[in-house]
Chain A
Amino acid sequence: MAKKKYPFEINEVIVHPVHGIVEVKEIKEQEILGEIKKYFVLKPLVERLSEVMIPVDRIETLGVRKVLNSKEIIDIFRELQKEPEDFGKLMTNWGTQYQKNLNMVQSGDISEVCKVLKYLAERRKKRQLSKTDDDLFDKAFMLVLSEVSHVLDLEKEEVRIILDFVLDSKQKEE
């Protein structure tokens, strides 16, 4: 019988939309709420969590994906160099805007994460962000930093300095 093919392999490093870079530790069956299902067991490599479990049949719809390649990483930096979209003006209600930003950051789509990162970086220069927006900025920053650092095999601090420059120097040129 042919071995079942999974979208990700054991020991593969992939991206979780909330926890960033994670390693696939195993695929195991487990009963949760009376239902036996197969789960990917993921070990976050940045956040200090022991493990995260995701049902095999939902892993792709939840935004879990393969890491970017080097060319796609360069595209991220090119994207971050561009002017931020002013989507903040579209919504006057802070809660609605925050929820939209949160959904974008947790979508697993790096270009959506970058849009929020640029937008919040821009706003942060004009006035202090609220605690929740500040936390969201840190989250988006961590997601981008950890993937760039992993893919390019660069020290996190080095990537932090470059990202910080790219986000800040652009803003100050206005």
Chain B
Amino acid sequence: MSLIPLCKECIEMDLKGKDKNEILNSLIELISYSGKINDIEVFRKAIFDREKKITTGIGSGIAIPHAKSDGVDSFSLAFARSKAGLDFASMDNKSVHLFFILGAPVDHDDDYLKGMSELSGLLKDPIFRNKLLEAKSKDEIYNLIIGEN
């Protein structure tokens, strides 16, 4: 069973953003549709603090901003895509096309790390990444991510 807690409301097919801050703020708003963010400002601070340590743009067109925060009730996730690619100051200096934002309560460990591990495992596969990039609908994306396991 997948540990990735994605809901269809938390999928954005055409993410916009002129810089990293704008992108992160859009992703934070998107994950709030999960209903699991109890304090968006507390969560926003956690996401930006984590990003300051090192970019979560991990290369191959992927970014996974994430943070544990008191502003989150339970493990949640949102997905956004940009076919054109956005500048996220990634490790490989390339544009990012696929964004996953993850949030979890501070005392929450197991599912959060297992979920992140499961996600990064899926994203290693260039065929899977391409399917996400080419998907025509939110349903298709949802089924790709959740149904892959």
Instruction: Knowing A78-B92, A81-B92, A161-B116, say if A169 contacts B124 (CB, 8 Å).
Output: yes
Minimum Cβ distance to chain A for residue B56 (Å): 8
Instruction: Knowing A74-B91, A78-B91, A81-B91, say if A169 contacts B53 (CB, 8 Å).
Output: no
Chain A 75-94, CB-CB to B under 8 Å as 1, else 0, gives: 00110010000000000000
Whether the Cβ atoms of B126 and A77 lie closer than 8 Å is no
Instruction: Knowing A157-B113, A165-B123, A166-B91, say if A81 contacts B53 (CB, 8 Å).
Output: no
Q: How far is the CA of A172 from the CA of B116 in the complex (A)?
A: 19
The secondary-structure label for the interface of chain B is: mixed
Whether the Cβ atoms of B120 and A161 lie closer than 8 Å is yes
Selected contact of B120 from candidates A153, A164, A170, CB within 8 Å:
A164
Q: Which of A120-174 contact B (CB under 8 A)?
A: 152-155, 157-158, 161-162, 164-166, 168-170, 172-173
Q: How far is the CA of A157 from the CA of B92 in the complex (A)?
A: 22
Q: What residue of chain A has the Cβ atom nearest to residue B66's Cβ?
A: A158
Q: Which of B89-116 contact A (CB under 8 A)?
A: 91-93, 113, 116
A-B contact count (CB 8 A): 56
Selected contact of B53 from candidates A153, A166, A172, CB within 8 Å:
A153
- Contacting residues, chain B, for A162 (C-beta < 8 A): 58, 120
Chain B 41-71, CB-CB to A under 8 Å as 1, else 0, gives: 0000000000001110011101000000000
Q: How far is the CA of A77 from the CA of B59 in the complex (A)?
A: 9
Q: How far is the CA of A161 from the CA of B92 in the complex (A)?
A: 17
- Contacting residues, chain A, for B137 (C-beta < 8 A): none
Whether the Cβ atoms of A152 and B53 lie closer than 8 Å is yes
3 closest residue pairs by CB, A with B = A81-B92, A165-B120, A77-B91
Beyond A161-B116, A165-B60, A170-B60, 20 additional contacts (C-beta under 8 Å) are A70-B54, A74-B55, A74-B91, A77-B59, A78-B91, A78-B92, A78-B93, A152-B53, A153-B53, A161-B120, A162-B58, A162-B120, A165-B120, A165-B123, A165-B124, A166-B59, A168-B124, A169-B126, A172-B124, A172-B126
